[in-house]
Structure 1
Amino acid sequence: MSALKLNTLFRQFDQATLIAFACIVVLLLIGALAEPAFLSPQYLIQQLHTAAFLGVVATGVMLVILLGHIDLSIPWTIGAGGMMATGATGILGPEFGVVLAVPFGILCGVTIGFVNGLGVAYLRAPAMIFTLGMNAVAQGLMVYHTGGFAPQDRATPFMRELAVGHLVPGIPNPLLIWIVLGAVTMFMLNRTTLGRQIYAIGNQERAVFLSGVDTRKVVLIGFMISGACAAATGVLLAGWANRSYQAMGDPYLLPTIAAVILGGTNVLGGRGKYIGTVAGVILITILQSMLSVVQPQRYFAGLGLELPADTFRQVVFGAVIIAMLLLYGRQKVSR
């Protein structure tokens, strides 16, 4: 490998990324002390399989955060993608529904992202408020679509194969999809004009606009990619469970944002490496697994604090986000 290629590789690893990978090693060692099977190849592949779902949705969210915005419509975009994919047969008919289930579900996510992009880029609405409103709209539409009950539609055989199959022996298909998606994203961010524009807009949108770049179009594309990634995650989750269900995306909002931020992406936009997001996703997945194995919330029971496991995880993710917000805020003041 040439010196130029090595230099390009090492440039992907900033301080935050190295810290994230170091934390992964520490968590693995702690988990191995609590449960010896924690380091077995089968368990590690299982964790990477689980991380792939989070990794796909985190890819789109990272692009939006790099632009200096946020996408809070992720939970029900995931739900819409999964529910519309499993319900495609009833909507498009049995002839086309089975064949077009996956692209139909992803297209629904792209549509949500398109509306988000229009509101944020062209109407200049605050991303936090607008995307949160779109999340509520998507929730209402999905509840109306199912009549207020859990959908009875099942995943198609192709959706099942995408979620649980192994096109390459030993590598689950969701992990393979994440690897391909990650490679494309890294190439786009590092080697294309669109990638350079995304970083530039996150740093100083007004200056980029004055240089002649249609910043609104770039922001629109970023939100559409985020919607597509979230809906694709919904399709994979529906294939994994062999069915879709309401609120299937609710557990993914905080972990997704926490993974992107832990990977070193600046919440104010303009700085971050995709390899850092990969580290953040793996770190969050292992942290979730370790919290389930070690159950540290039981130590609070003696203090009169009965915290369910899900509640404790949400507290941990929220604390991580707040801590990183404070850290990046101090860095901005220093600069």
Structure 2
Amino acid sequence: MSATVPRAASQSRLVRLGLDRSVLIAFACIVVLLAGGALYSREFLSPEYLLQQLQISAFLGVIASGAMLVILIGHIDLSIPWTVTLGAMMATAVAGWYGTPGEVLAIPVGILCGAIVGLVNGLGVAYLRLPSMIFTLGMNAVVQGLMVLHTGGSAPQDHATDAMHFLAVGRPVLGIPNALFMWILVGAGVIFLLNRTAFGRRVYAVGNRERAAYLSGVDTNAIIVGCFVLSGAAAAFAGVLLAGYSTKAYQAMGDSYLLPAIAAVVLGGTNVLGGRGNYLGTIAGVILITLLQSILAVMQMEEAGRQIIYGTVIIAMLLAYGRGDLHRK
């Protein structure tokens, strides 16, 4: 028994640092996609094209950052699509309603609205003990209804603020998109939270075995609520950035990000049952998903073909990781 515990602790440290097979597989697939894309088009490896892909990855990366925290505790957040839309619409609406003061408050209000959705999700899952898949799906429908009422069923007329546009598309430092810096900041925060704080250690503990964590003195409900709040805030912040990228908010702008965000986290090696995963893997998963989508778009493949290849690659990578890795608790 005494030899097993140190070995398990050592393996846990390696997993958190990203030194596991799933991360290596994900990065190997990225190299394969880059090589394949370069064979199809010489422009695929150009610095400008790669920066553009990283900029697009940043929006998905911010969403996946929050989604990963929820998956690590063994739950799932299906309210992401309309939380993204909520953050974008409320940020632009506040700017339109209140003029200059609204422009200052637009981004914080958008993120706060997402955090509120996450708070409701967390309370429902933690204290009412409702299945996260069902409860968050219901919240997604509620937020959708509220946004339809807010806009009258049409696209809102309020435009993104200059600050939102700057954070999403500005390139003041060496031509690197500001959106990428936003993802780096969010990612650094998640890495610090998971690896350097008591909250992070408790996230892994709850994900491994919630009852055991509770009996050891962990406030498991607080951890669950906190992860959902952070997921909602991250999704809303991504919505703010997307509104800045497209210069306005619009209906259902987050619908296309739910499956890619969850897929990126899982493809990066995070256990879908919780308790195991690292942010380096999520980074690899986000870049992998973005490159795959880009290659299929460049090849001008029909939507049906894209979905078939997209799903096949995800299934193949999950099989490559092995059922033992994905279901080990």
TM-score by length of 2: 0.91
- The corresponding residue for 2:129 is 124
On the 8 A contact 1:254/1:314 being kept in 2, the answer is no
Residues 1:63 and 2:63 are matched in the alignment: no
Give the deviation of 1:138 after TM superposition: 0.5
- Partners in 1 of 2:229 and 2:28 — Cα distance? 33
What is the distance in 2 between the residues matched to 1:128 and 1:323? Answer: 24
2:270 is aligned with 1:265: yes
What percent of counterpart residues are identical? 62
Residue deviations 1:130-181 (CA, integer Å, cap 9, x gap): 0000000010000000011111110011111111112422211110011111
Offset of residue 261 of structure 1: 0.6
Relative distance call for 1:331 and 1:41 in structure 2 (3 A) is closer
**TM-score, normalised to structure 1's length?**
0.89
**Corresponding residue for 1:242?**
247
Gaps of at least 5 residues in structure 1 are: 1-6, 298-307
Task: Specify the alignment match of 2:39 in structure 1.
Answer: 33
Q: Does 1:164 align with 2:164?
A: no
The secondary structure found in structure 1 opposite 2:209 is helix
What is the CA distance between 1:13 and its match in structure 2?
Answer: 2.5
Give the letter aligned to residue 27 of structure 2: F
Q: Quick check: 1:79 aligned with 2:94?
A: no
Deviates more, 1:318-327 or 1:135-144: 318-327
Aligned residue identity for 1:148: G
Q: Return closer, same or farther for 1:122/1:188 CA change in 2, 3 Å cut-off.
A: same
2:284 aligns with one of 258, 279, 283: 279
Aligned mates of 2:269, 2:38 — CA distance in 1: 26
What is the distance in 2 between the residues matched to 1:64 and 1:164? 29
8 A Cα contact 1:113 1:227, kept in partner = yes
CA contact (8 A) 2:170 2:177 kept: yes
Aligned to 1:150: 155
CA pair 212-286 structure 1, distance change in 2 beyond 3 A: same
Q: In the aligned structure 1, how far is the partner of 2:318 from the partner of 2:148?
A: 34
SS of the counterpart of 1:213?
A: coil
Q: Aligned letter for 1:87?
A: A
Taking only aligned residues, the RMSD between alpha carbons, in angstroms, comes to 2.1
User: Do the aligned residues in 2 keep the contact of 1:254 with 1:318 (CA within 8 Å)?
Assistant: no
What does 1:1-335 correspond to in 2, within 5 Å?
11-91=17-97, 93-295=98-300, 297=301, 308-309=302-303, 311-319=304-312, 329-331=323-325
Aligned to 1:301: none
1:3 corresponds to: none
Structure-1 separation of matches of 2:37 and 2:120: 43
Return the letter of the residue paired with 1:63.
Answer: L
Q: Distance in 1 between matches of 2:308 and 2:153?
A: 30
In 2, the alpha carbon distance for the partners of 1:243 and 1:278 equals 27
SS in structure 2 at match of 1:84: helix
